[in-house]
Amino acid sequence: MEEAAADVRARVRESFERQGLMEHLGARISHIGPGEVHIVLPSRPEVTQQHGYFHAGATSSIADSAGGYAAFTLFPEGTSVLTVEFKINLLAPAEGERLEAVGTVIKPGRTLTICRLEVFAVAGDRRTLVAVGQQTLIQVEARPER
């Protein structure tokens, strides 16, 4: 997998580290490439629902962030990213040691960017597609840090 330039990786990681929800969930970035970001979420009771599967909210959250940061890798310095909308289909119960969300830019744009979202449940050497989606993101002027 191709890696993004070092300055882009640093900008993505710095922004990701400011996301309270990703920290709360225990999610981490595992790959940053041009137009593609992977986010991993380890299994633990706090991210499951009543049947022991990963909660759809946790699944959707890491998918949303993976797509957002995939778009952000293509945005110029001094800009930021916001989700305009996203749709996700849950294909199978999400169970395993971890989830891996993959956000991939389908069509970059000056203002709006479209991404494909995929979430895989990983158990040992088995990787199962458990969710797919599509997302629209907008490039905005960067806001000062809070």
Question: Which residue range forms the structural domain that includes residue 24?
Answer: 6-141
The residue among 3, 10, 60, 7 whose CA lies nearest residue 37 is 3
Domain total in the chain: 1
Backbone phi, psi, residue 36, to 5°: -150, 130
Which portions of the chain are predicted below pLDDT 50? none
42 within a domain of the structure (yes/no): yes
146 within a domain of the structure (yes/no): no
Q: What is the pLDDT of residue 146?
A: 57
Strand runs labelled E in 1-146: 28-33, 36-42, 79-90, 98-107, 112-123, 126-141
The pLDDT tens digits for 69-78 are 999 999 999 9
113 within a domain of the structure (yes/no): yes
Q: What is the pLDDT of residue 77?
A: 93
What order of strands is seen across the sheet that includes strand 79-90?
28-33, 36-42, 98-107, 112-123, 126-141, 79-90
Q: What is the pLDDT of residue 145?
A: 64
54 within a domain of the structure (yes/no): yes
Compute the distance between CA of residue 146 and CA of residue 137 in angstroms, rounded to an integer: 22
Residue 59 is part of a domain; what is its CATH number? 3.10.129.10
1 within a domain of the structure (yes/no): no
Q: Is 111 helix (H, G, I), strand (E, B) or coil?
A: coil
